[in-house]
Structure 1
Amino acid sequence: MARRSTKQPLPDDFEEHILDTDIADEMESSFLEYAYSVIYSRALPDARDGLKPVQRRILHTMNVMGLRPDRGHVKSARVVGEVMGRLHPHGDGAIYDALVRLAQPWSVRLPMVDGHGNFGSPDDSPAAMRYTECRMAPAAVAMTASIDEDTVDFRANYDSRELEPSVLPSAIPNLVVNGATGIAVGMATNMAPHNLVEVVQALKHLIRHPDASVDDLMRFVPGPDLPTGGKIVGLDGVRDAYETGRGSFKMRATARVESVTPRRKGIVVTELPYGVGTEKVVERIKVLVQSKKLQGIADVKDLTDREKGLQLVIEVKNGFVPEALLEQLYRLTPMEDSFGINAVALVDGQPRTLGLREMLQVFLDHRFEVVRRRSVFRRAKAADRLHLVEGLLLAVLDIDEVIQLIRASENAGEARERLMTVFDLSQLQADHILDMPLRRLTKFSRIELEKEQDELRRTIEELDAILGDRAVLERVVSDELGEVAKVYGTPRRTVLLQSAGTSVATTAVSLEVADDPCFAYLSSTGLLARSASDEPPATGDGRANHDVVVSAVATTARGEVGVVTSRGRLLRLGVLDLPVIPASANDPHLQGGLPLSEVLPLEAGERALCLTTLRTDGPGLALGTRQGVVKRVNPEVLNRDEWEVVSLKDGDEVVGAVELASGEEELCFVTTDAQLLHFSASLVRPQGRAGGGMAGVKLGAGAAVLSFGAVDPATAVVVTVSGSATALPGTEAGSAKVTPFSDYPAKGRATGGVRCHRFLRGEDTLLTAWAGPAPARAAAASGAPVDLPAADGRRDGSGVPLAQPVAAVAGPVAAQLRVPDAAQDPGSPSTPVEG
């Protein structure tokens, strides 16, 4: 059966109008429109809030929906639908991918979305949006705070029916903290995440010193802090990126060699480079083993779970050196990867390549503008309310006349006019009085109104000060940044290494290394190294050095040293496994050192305190615990890798340990309530390994021991840093004081000591304390040096505010060294063994 045509005939008067256009012009015009759309509306973040348009629309929509952290989760599909229908006319898949990334702690350093359900892993994609739920993370609240106070401009959405913010107020420097990645047309951006606390410190320094250089800012931000931890090897590329906006650096996995079975060694990987998953590493290892490019691997097990975190175990066949195999894994697999920084962001609507200083300055300018506009809004609101309160007070004074006047009026308009005439009120004041219930016009209401009037006037004065004085505005922004770091800051995860150092494989298997005397060092950030010779370093001021050496012992290149930990354990460590640092005329800095976690199996929360020479003919070790116990341990070296040197009670830990040279040193305790006690080591009876020690210092209520050590009273100083006990660790700089140790009188063992620091207002505890040889050197958690005040004689005086928090204090390396006989005579045994 033939189908009948439905095509309608054209009318007789129809005329075709065909416009001839050159194809090259049309392609050029269309491509430019597409390129502009991708650059400005999709791929590149704004330098002010660090968000791409889709991310900004997600956070704004969740804020409008009221998905606060204290409320329940909602389906992710609901949020995606709201964003797509109201603000973002693109595919739901792109919106959901952006939402998922904001919720993944391995993708961003500070998650903005609190996800509930399967949001994927570094190797797997998330579940569909109909299965997952989400809400705002606490950090997202800070990004959108005060958005309803006219702090940012709004613009029309894609169909001009609603408004959306052109930028978020962003109390968090999101661009630097979380980084960004995006591919536009003809350009791309790739920025590494950083630590919030370090970035805030750099911002506060830039506020105080607007002409600060990149080197000045790198004292606070020494390098990226990746969400997955790991190590960054080589900081030259990082500095190039901070200077020019372009650079690259190498990322290495964190791995250690340990016994995985009673007869087999293995490599345990606990952190991988940023963006690398375990499946990618395992697959690459299988390919290399099958092609016989990598030998010595018996098995690979992925034991990653929610409790232990990432744990990839690579078993090594007997007869192969694990350290040499680890070097091959770094070279051949994604366990070592590179990250290229290309810091491109929108500034005033134009794409620009930004260095570290430019990114921080753009954010500061944005925060200054946000706080200024917020202050203008709040002042106008307070002034309007004050105007109404003043009118109410006039009415309360003559309440009877007001009531009589209103009752005598024919209508509301007449009442308004008469109120304005008789009491000299404005129309707003008169309308407000007419709209108020009579019960508010009481004597008690007058007291409330006068109190509110005073508060409003004070508020207006404070806001006028912000708007009229640039210094006050800068102080407000600086204080708000400090509060953000306190609330949302976390400790650094990524270890920064200046270089890879000497190959572990070479030092581990080489038999050509002579057993020459040398020194072993332990730094404040947990790096280990050994010197190239037995020449003790001269005392330097350390200003050009990174990190401080907290413990140093004399040993030999093929000898062994011990590491005392906070759990009361003594771990044996081969000196040959440590990288060699070059000789220096000043105190050494261990940027090329080896992280302690790679060579020793430390437990969760366990810290390395000091190095020992493992001598059996000396006065032994002295240890002090958090609960005030002191112990001298008889020198004893057992024929195993680890043993306990003190029996600790529940909840106690070792806070300080030192190897005694003569047994007549002064032992010094410093407690959190600023009490210092010192007495001779001869008053402490030596005990065996099983002993629990004896009373060292008498603690006050709620106090604990903060520092313990052995000092020479003639050359020692005491460093104390005070602050608030409620502050997040590592965020409060505090107030520091340096005092000669000789100013503190000695007291008997088990007594309370004398006060060593006076707290200022807002301070109630000591954050850091140390006693040792002068001159004292301090370092931040990143290893950057911190300037300490000059020593004074006020033994119980208050401190001087610091520029940044202190993580460790140490004295000159030469003063820490105690040279054993083995180091002086290479022919004698370096580590006698008993038991």
Structure 2
Amino acid sequence: MARRSKGSVTKVDPSAFDRAGATVLDTPVTNEIEDSYLEYAYSVIHSRALPDARDGLKPVHRRILYSMHEQGYRPTHAYVKSSRVVGDCMGKYHPHGDLAIYDAMVRMAQDFSLNAPLVDGHGNFGSPDDGPAASRYTEARMSNEAMLLVGELGEETVDFRPNYDGSLEEPSVLPAAFPNLLVNGTSGIAVGMATNMIPHNLGEVVAAARWLINHPDASLDKLMEFVPGPDLPTGGMLLGLDEVRKAYETGRGVVRMRARAETGPLEGSRGRQAITVTELPYGVGPEKIIEKITDEVTKSKRLTGIADVKDLTDRENGTRLVIECKVGVNPQALLADLYRLTPLEQSFGINNLVLVDGQPQTLGLKALLEVFLKHRYEVVTRRTRYRKRKREERLHLVEGLLKALLDIDKVIRLIRNSDNAQAARDGLMKQFKLSEIQASYILDTPLRRLTKYDKIELESEQEKLTGEIAELAKILDDPAVLRKVVSTELAKVTKDLTWERRTALIDGDLKEVLAASKPAGPLEVADDPCQVLLSATGLVARTAAESEEASEARRRNGRARNDAVAAVVHTTARGQILVVTSKGRAFKTDVLPLPVLPEQVGTVSLSGGMAASELVPLDKGERVVTIAPMTDTTSPGLAVGTRQGVVKVCSPEWPVRSDEFEVITLKDGDEIVGATWLTDGSETLVFVSSDSSLLRYEAGLVRPQGLKGGGMAGIKLAGDAHTVFFAAVRTDDDEHGEPMVVTATGNTVKVTPFAEYPAKGRATGGVRTHRFLKGEHALRLAWIGSRPAGSTDTGSSVELPEVDTRRDGSGHPHPGPDVVGHLVERG
């Protein structure tokens, strides 16, 4: 009669089983549960979740590779369906479901998961954001790296054990010719414990292992000279090497991964700023970043400076995530917020928990290398024994054949006169003192292999085998030779498979590094006064907040380093300016996206400016002629002069809704050669023609026109002459001094006071300003203004000659080997 006792398994009347000879045990439920759970936990730890420290593989990965090796799916073999690999592995070695096997195989094929992929996949094996295609659609074979793990299996290098049903055998560990655990890393969750190992550079790890071979007492700091830190498949940056050292010492630590990003103008956006991410943290995909950014922008609203996010990642260019900034946003400050609020910066908790002799242990860098090297010593030793034994067995057979060849006729008669094979074998063993193996081999050898030529070959083989056996014996007898062999083989691995470091390492304490990398300044840039400058070579930039001291010093010194300033506009950091081109087009452009020049009192370098062609969309042959303010409504407007001698003062009534418009309607073949923003209309307009005529008259003689106006006659040109210079010049500026006229041909340059030229009426022919010498036919350049400066086409300064008071003088030779390319005002 069955009955249940409190706190125990159901107890059955023993008399019911006594007749069958059975025994019933009364076991407490708690003991039964504990025993069963411990068996389950042991199984998970040893057979599922934790890697072996020797080959760095979990059982499922090891069985996949062994199954592919047994089936011959090597790098030289054609790709086979992944479902075929999965089915073979599941049926023979790993009866835990096809999905688990396929997931493990997929990870071994992903170059963004492993530094050295062990499976060569063909098809969609997924991305950091998306899973792979089904196993029936993808194909696979072993990679070259995988062959280094299984290549020595046929030489008795490792122990084998029965598979799950005892019908086959599988290796308990793979020979592993390189430190796979450190190179590829791994992760797994067992019962009450977990492992999370970060990948490293193969060349660095092998270099450390080779040093440890010859210096077993090497310190951790010495090993870290070879392995300075992890190297992730996805690149990026790793912050805080102090924590890395802690992980290398104790086996546990937390490192900070950061995406690699650049800030700069957004391509095709007329100067708008953007953040371009080219490398992501390990295990993070672009879609995850975009999703988090969207949540922060739309829900929590902690990211307020983002206008748009685009994922331009492709196979050709790799990762490319473009985050467009709103106008007025400091991209560096926004990037700091992105690091703080999105997975562009993530932590990686290192936990080097592995199986060592079947026991879970947490190991540091040196201990992991020591376990691997101990495994390699054993593998090479067992391989050497196997190879030595095989050569000794072959040498034994060769020596037997050579004995038989010494008296081959007697051997043949003995065999022919024997009653059967056993009698022949016994006779050979007795008369020629051969072993049974040698005698059997002679009986099995065809007569065609017993010629004189074969004897020579056998003697050569005997000598070769003897030498190889001696070399193998040295490896077995001398530990130093063994270590040298292991070191040489590791060096060959790096020669074939090494790659450049992908992850940049940033040294120091993690908290200090994070604090130092956070850019100062608010997200929104203040609308402070500043200057926008256009250089003679077409570079545009802005200054920082314009202080009175810096502004005064610039006016006083007025010298530009490495470049000459062609136009200056006083505005604000969050304002707009007009960019005017030679085709009469004007573009509204934000000031904020322009590069900021270094704050230097009295001097300014435009070498870090933005090319005007990147700021506005220019046509072929079109160039930027000037920049102008947007908000100065007190000015008469923009004075422009054209190649065909047309002048126009364009009223500052810019369209509100259009960012691009025309400031003058040009005739066919005409273009703007100069443009100047008028301050109060008291300026003097000046034309200089190619035939050396200068015409000046008051700006008040030109009536302002609207945008559609085509202007009026500015200078009367003779023959095929054209305008080479136009500008509005002030003659009442005591601070900057008297204006100068600079003219240049291909050979000579002349500087003359502007006061030497009389004023005339609009649309007249002007007066001569430069007498041509023999071989000179036209002016190449001209310029009028205070403090003249010359520069080459590359922006280098050129000194001009002394002032010549002769209005129509012939000029002086060029001052130096460089041809003058630009004439502008200093400052």
TM-score by length of 2: 0.61
* Residue 253 (structure 1) aligns with: 259
Q: Select which of 43, 49, 71 maps to 1:37.
A: 43
Residue 561 of structure 1, CA deviation: 12
Find the counterpart in structure 2 of residue 49 from structure 1: 55
Q: How do 1:122-521 and structure 2 match up within 5 A?
A: 122-260=128-266, 261-291=269-299, 292-498=301-507, 499-500=513-514, 502-503=516-517, 505-506=519-520
1:719-738 residue CA offsets vs partner (Å, 9 max, x unmatched): xxxxxxxxxxxxxxxxxxxx
* Aligned-pair CA distance for 1:834: 9.6
Counterpart residue identity of residue 251, structure 1 = M
Q: Contact (CA 8 Å) 1:636, 1:834: kept in 2 or not?
A: no
Query: Which residue in the other structure is 2:114 paired with?
Result: 108
Asked whether the equivalents of residues 243 and 356 of structure 1 are also in contact (C-alpha less than 8 Å), the reply is: yes
Deviation of 1:258 after TM superposition, in Å, equals: 2.2
CA shift for structure 1 position 397: 1.9
Alpha-carbon separation, structure 1, partners of 2:340 and 2:506 = 17
Please tell me whether the aligned partners of residues 120 and 142 of structure 2 are also in contact (alpha carbons under 8 angstroms).
yes
**Distance across 1 between alignment mates of 2:210 and 2:165:** 41
Q: What amino acid sits opposite 2:120 in the alignment?
A: D
Q: Distance in 2 between matches of 1:482 and 1:108?
A: 21
Please say if residues 159 and 172 of structure 2, whose CA atoms lie closer than 8 Å, have aligned partners that are also in contact.
yes
Quick check: which has more Rg, 1 or 2?
2
Amino acid of the structure 2 residue aligned with 1:302: D
**Paired letter, 2:358:** G
1:639·1:834 contact (CA, 8 Å) conserved in 2? no
Distance in 2 of aligned mates of 1:84 and 1:277: 31
Distance in 2, matches of 1:469 and 1:181, equals: 38
What is the Cα deviation at residue 93 of structure 1? 1.1
Residues 50-89 of structure 1 aligned to structure 2 (within 5 Å): 50-89=56-95
Deviation of 1:638 (Å): 8.6
CA contact (8 A) 1:118 1:126 kept: yes
2:377/2:482 contact within 8 Å kept: yes
Q: Give CA deviations for 1:169-224 in whole Å, capped at 9, x if unaligned.
A: 00010111111100000110000000000000000000110001111100000000
> Partners in 2 of 1:80 and 1:34 — Cα distance?
25
* Cα pair 1:639 1:833 within 8 Å, conserved: no
Q: Which range is displaced more, 344-353 or 423-432?
A: 423-432
- Partners in 2 of 1:120 and 1:262 — Cα distance? 37
* Kept after mapping to 1: 8 A contact 2:244/2:255: yes
SS of 2:372's partner is helix
Which amino acid in structure 2 is aligned with residue 458 of structure 1?
Answer: G
Is the CA contact (8 Å cut-off) linking 2:199 and 2:231 kept in structure 1?
yes
Distance 1:641 1:170, change over 3 A: farther
Identify unmatched segments of 5+ residues in structure 2.
Answer: 1-14, 508-512, 527-558, 563-594, 614-823
Check conservation: 1:202, 1:217, Cα contact below 8 A.
Answer: yes
Cα separation, partners in 2 of 1:642 and 1:50, compared to 1, 3 Å: farther
Pairwise CA distance, 1:20 = 4.5
Q: What SS does the aligned partner of 1:49 have?
A: coil
* Matched residue, 1:771: none
- Take 1:56 and 1:239, find their aligned partners in 2: how far apart are those partners? 30
Q: Is the 8 A contact 1:637 1:833 kept in 2?
A: no
Distance 1:395 1:19, change over 3 A: closer
**Deviation at 1:24?**
1.1
Deviation at 1:92, TM superposition (A): 1.3
1:531-570 deviation line (CA, Å, top 9, x unaligned): xxxxxxxxxxxxxxxxxxxxxxxxxxxx9999xxxxxxxx
Task: Please tell me whether residue 28 in structure 1 is matched to residue 34 in structure 2.
Answer: yes
1: CA distance, partners of 2:91 / 2:307: 55
Q: 1:201 to 1:155 in 2, by over 3 A?
A: same
Q: 1:379 Cα shift?
A: 0.3
Shift of the 402–354 alpha-carbon distance from structure 1 to 2, 3 Å rule, reads same
Residues 178 and 420 (structure 1), Cα distance of their counterparts in 2 relative to 1, 3 Å cut? same
**C-alpha separation in 2, matches of 1:295 and 1:377:** 69
- 1:506 alignment partner, SS class: coil
- CA distance in structure 2 between the partners assigned to 1:420 and 1:173 by the alignment: 50
**1:83 Cα deviation after fit:** 1.1
1:90 matched residue in structure 2: 96
Work out the CA distance in 2 between the residues paired with 1:24 and 1:501.
53
Question: With structure 1 as the length reference, what TM-score do the two structures score?
Answer: 0.60
Contact 2:114–2:184 under 8 Å retained in 1:
yes
Q: Aligned-pair distance for 1:641? A: 6.0
Number of equivalences: 527
Query: Percent of pairs identical after alignment?
Result: 59
Deviations 1:434-462 (A, max 9, x none): 10110010011011101111110111011
Farther off after superposition, 15-24 or 333-342: 15-24
| Alignment CA distance shift 1:285-1:636 (3 Å) | closer
**Alpha-carbon separation, structure 2, partners of 1:160 and 1:62:** 20
Q: 2:244, 2:253 within 8 Å by CA — same for their partners in 1?
A: yes
Q: Tell me, in whole angstroms, the C-alpha distance in 1 between the residues paired with 2:825 and 2:115.
A: 47
Task: Say whether the 8 Å CA contact 1:252–1:336 is kept in structure 2.
Answer: yes
Partner SS, residue 287 of structure 2? helix
Give secondary structure in 2 for the equivalent of 1:267: strand
- The 5 Å alignment of 1:605-644 reads 640=610
2:560 and 2:826 in contact (8 A); partners too: no
Q: CA deviation at 1:259?
A: 1.7
CA distance in 2, matches of 1:23, 1:561: 89
Residues 649-798 of structure 1 aligned to structure 2 (within 5 Å) = none
Deviations 1:724-775 (A, max 9, x none): xxxxxxxxxxxxxxxxxxxxxxxxxxxxxxxxxxxxxxxxxxxxxxxxxxxx
SS at match of 1:134: strand
Do the aligned partners of residues 120 and 427 (structure 1) sit closer, same or farther apart at CA in structure 2, a change above 3 Å counting?
A: same
1:308 is displaced (CA, Å) by 0.7
Q: Secondary structure at the match of 1:485?
A: helix
Deviation digits for residues 621-659 of structure 1 (CA, Å, limit 9, x no counterpart): xxxxxxxxxxxxxx995954699xxxxxxxxxxxxxxxx
Taking the TM superposition and a 5 Å limit, the aligned residue runs for 1:534-683 are 640=610
Paired with 1:68 and 1:638, the residues of 2 have a C-alpha distance of 54
Give the distance between the partners of 2:208 and 2:826, measured in 1 at CA. Answer: 52
Alpha-carbon contact 1:637-1:834 (below 8 Å) kept: no
